[in-house]
Chain A
Amino acid sequence: MKSARDIARDVRNGTTTAEHELASSLAAIHAKNDELNVFLFVDEEGALDAARRVDARVARGDDVGALAGVPIALKDNLCQVGVPTTAGSRILKGWRPPYNATVIDRLLDAGAVPMGKTNMDEFAMGSSTETSAYGATRNPLDTSRVPGGSSGGSASAVAADMTTISLGSDTGGSIRQPAAFCGLVGVKPTYGLVSRYGLIAFASSLDQIGPFAKNVADAATLLETIAGHDPMDSTSLPEPAPSLVRHVDDGVAGQRVGVVRELFEGADGEVVAEVERATAALRDAGATIVELSLPELHLGLSAYYLIAPAEASSNLARYDGVRYGLRVDADDVAAMNEATRTAGFGAEVKRRIMLGTYALSAGYYDAYYGQALKVRTQLIDVFRRAYQEADLLLGATAPSVAFSIGEKTANPLAMYLSDVFTIPTNLAGDAAVSVPFGVGDTGLPVGVQLLGPGRSEARLLAAARVLEVADGRS
C-alpha cells in the first residue's frame, strides 16, 4: 500500500494520475463499505471533478501541492459545499452545506481529492461510533469490535485502505482513541492551530480538527496542509502553519520524556506493557526518562463531562426546526421545536443536552459547571509544572484495545471512562499524538500517547517517528 506522500509524488511526476488513484480508492470503498459502514456518502462526482482538476494542473506544469491526487476521507461534521453533511444525526439528514469548511478549501488547494463523508457518533458524542443515527461502524481489523469514536468512520477508512489519510475531530479523544483502536497515527492539534470554521460544533472550547494516517510523515504532511491562521475562526492562532514534515526525523536525543503514572495506571496489562516498551525505546533513542505523578489528572474526566455537555446544550440549541434540518410540525413554535428535537436527536445526544442543561441551571451552576471550570485551571497549572520537568509526556491513549460492539452501550459512564487518558489534553488546549506501538494479547493494536504543551506538534511527531521505527513499522 502506497503512502499519501508516495501518491502525491507519483501524481506530480506523472507516474500515476489523480484519476487512477481515485479509481483505486473507489474500488476499495465499494468492496468494503457495505460490511464496515464507513462512508455515509461517497461523493463520486465531486471526487472525479477534483481529480480531473489535479490532473489538468499537473499537465499544465503547475505546482499542485503536497497532497496532489491523494484521496481523503472526511468526518461527517465537516461542511463541504453541496455534499450531504449530517454529523451522524437524523436532525441533519439530507442537509447540504452552502459553504466549505476552511480545512476543505486548504485540502483542495493542496491537490487532495475528498472522497466523501464518514460515519461518526452523533454530533461526535461517543467513543465507539455506535451512537450514529446511521448505524455502527465496524473495526476493519476485527469486525466484531468498534473502531473507537467519535471519528470511527475516518479511522476505519484508513485502516481498511479505502484512503491513505482522513480527517477527524477531537473533543475529548475522538481522534486519538480511534487511531489507537485501528492501528493509526492520530493527532489532536493545539487548540487554535487548525481552523474550526465549517466544523459542526460540539464543545467549542475543546473541539479541534486533526489527521489520521498510517505513518507519521503522512500525518505531518496533512496537518501542515490544514494548519495556520484563518480569519474566519476567531479562536484561530495568529501564526502561519508550523513546519512539521521537515522535523519528522529530528529524533528525541536530549529530550526529557515524562512518563506519567496516571496516564496508564488502571489500563489493561497488554496496554501497560506497550507503554513500558515505548519508554525503553525512547530511552534507547537518547531521551532522558523522568517518572512523573500528576494525581490531579483524574479530575479531568468529571470536569470534561460537565463542560462538554454544557457547551453542547448551548451549541445544539440551534437545531430548532426553523432554519435548516428536520422539522416536525406542531400547532405552535414551542411545540414544533420540541417535537423536532425529540424526533431528531438520539439517546446519547439527549443525555448530554440534559446533563449540560442541568450543569448550567440555577442552583447547580456553581457546584458543577463553575467548579469544572476551576478544575480546568488547575489542570492547566499541572501540565505547566510538568512541562518544566519534561519536554513531552508519555502514557497510554486508551485503557484497552478496541472493545466489542455493544459492550458499553448500556452504560454511559463505562463508555466515558474510555476517554480518561485523552481528556486532559483537550481541557488544557494542548497537543497530543497517538501512535501505534505493538499489539495486545489478541493481536489488536495498542496506541501510546505522546503529550506536549501548545505548539509542540513538531516535537511530538518526531518522538512518534522514533516509536514507529522502533516498532518496525517503517
Chain B
Amino acid sequence: MAKLARLTLSDAELDEFTEQLGQVLEHANDIAALDLEGVVATAHPFGLINVAREDVLRESLSRDEVLAMAPDAQDGRFAVPRIMGEAP
C-alpha cells in the first residue's frame, strides 16, 4: 500500500501502522459484514450535477505567477528530474 501511495516507510513505521490500521479495519468490519444488496451508493450528499458556464475568456493566474510557486521551472515550464531511462 505504501508503494501504491508513493510513500517510503521505515520498518518501525511499517510495524506500527500495520497494527494501527488493522484496528481501524477491524472496526470497519461492522459495515463490511452488512448485507446491503440493492442499496444505492451515495458518493455525494446532494448528488453531483455538471455545472457549466458561458464559454468566454476571463482572467486567470498568469503563467509567471503559477511557475513562481514551483520548486523548479525552466523556459516557461515546470522542471522535473528525468522521466524515462537513459537510451541504451
Contact with B along A300-333 (1 / 0, CB 8 A): 0111011000000100000011111111011111
Chain A residue with minimal CB distance to B10? A342
Task: Evaluate contact between B20 and A412: CB separation under 8 angstroms.
Answer: yes
- For window 1-25 of B, CB contacts with A under 8 Å fall at 1-2, 4-9, 13, 17, 20-21, 23-25
Nearest CB on A from B53, distance (A): 7
Task: Evaluate contact between A313 and B39: CB separation under 8 angstroms.
Answer: no
Total number of B residues with any Cβ neighbor in A under 8 Å: 46
Task: Evaluate contact between A374 and B36: CB separation under 8 angstroms.
Answer: yes
Contact with B along A319-358 (1 / 0, CB 8 A): 0111111110111111111110110010100110111011
Contact with B along A96-128 (1 / 0, CB 8 A): 101100000000000000000000000000000
Task: Evaluate contact between B80 and A322: CB separation under 8 angstroms.
Answer: yes
Task: Evaluate contact between A191 and B45: CB separation under 8 angstroms.
Answer: yes
Chain A residue with minimal CB distance to B80? A333
- B30 sits at the interface (CB 8 A): yes
Interface stretch, picked from A4-12, A38-46, A154-162, A363-371, is A363-371
- A428 sits at the interface (CB 8 A): yes
Task: Evaluate contact between A374 and B4: CB separation under 8 angstroms.
Answer: no
Task: Evaluate contact between B70 and A322: CB separation under 8 angstroms.
Answer: yes
Residues of B within 8 A of A234 (CB): 48, 50-51
Chain B residue with minimal CB distance to A381? B39
**Interface-central residue, B7, B23, B42, B80, by most chain A CB under 10 Å:** B42
The total of Cβ contacts below 8 Å across the A-B interface reads 160
Nearest CB on A from B68, distance (A): 8
Nearest CB on B from A208, distance (A): 10
Chain B residue with minimal CB distance to A331? B81
Task: Evaluate contact between A323 and B78: CB separation under 8 angstroms.
Answer: yes
- B41 sits at the interface (CB 8 A): yes
Residues of A within 8 A of B5 (CB): 313, 341, 350, 353-354, 357
Task: Evaluate contact between B17 and A231: CB separation under 8 angstroms.
Answer: no
Bound CA span A345–B2, Å: 13
Secondary structure of the B contact surface, majority rule: loop
- A373 sits at the interface (CB 8 A): yes
Contact with A along B51-80 (1 / 0, CB 8 A): 101000000010001100111100000101
Task: Evaluate contact between A429 and B46: CB separation under 8 angstroms.
Answer: yes
- A361 sits at the interface (CB 8 A): yes
Bound CA span A361–B1, Å: 9
- B34 sits at the interface (CB 8 A): yes
Residues of B within 8 A of A411 (CB): 20
Nearest CB on B from A374, distance (A): 4
Residues of A within 8 A of B25 (CB): 355, 358, 368
Task: Evaluate contact between B21 and A305: CB separation under 8 angstroms.
Answer: no
Task: Evaluate contact between A98 and B61: CB separation under 8 angstroms.
Answer: yes
Bound CA span A174–B1, Å: 27
Task: Evaluate contact between B36 and A371: CB separation under 8 angstroms.
Answer: yes
Nearest CB on A from B81, distance (A): 5
Nearest CB on A from B24, distance (A): 6
Task: Evaluate contact between B27 and A338: CB separation under 8 angstroms.
Answer: no
- A403 sits at the interface (CB 8 A): no
- B87 sits at the interface (CB 8 A): no
Nearest CB on B from A82, distance (A): 11
Nearest CB on A from B25, distance (A): 8
Bound CA span A375–B33, Å: 12
Nearest CB on A from B87, distance (A): 14
Chain A residue with minimal CB distance to B38? A374
Task: Evaluate contact between B53 and A413: CB separation under 8 angstroms.
Answer: no
Task: Evaluate contact between A333 and B45: CB separation under 8 angstroms.
Answer: no
Binding site for B on A (CB under 8 A): 95-96, 98-99, 191-192, 205, 231, 234-235, 298-299, 301-303, 305-306, 313, 320-327, 329-339, 341-342, 345, 347, 350-351, 353-355, 357-358, 361, 367-368, 370-378, 380, 411-413, 416, 427-429, 454
List 5 extra interface pairs beyond A205-B43, A330-B81, A358-B1, CB under 8 A.
A313-B5, A350-B7, A361-B1, A370-B41, A374-B39
Q: Can you list 21 pairs linking A and B with CB atoms under 8 Å apart? A: A231-B51, A235-B44, A302-B27, A305-B24, A324-B69, A335-B81, A339-B8, A347-B17, A350-B17, A351-B20, A353-B5, A354-B2, A355-B24, A367-B32, A371-B34, A373-B42, A376-B41, A377-B41, A380-B42, A412-B20, A412-B24
Binding site for A on B (CB under 8 A): 1-2, 4-9, 13, 17, 20-21, 23-25, 27-28, 30-32, 34, 36, 39-46, 48, 50-51, 53, 61, 65-66, 69-72, 78, 80-83
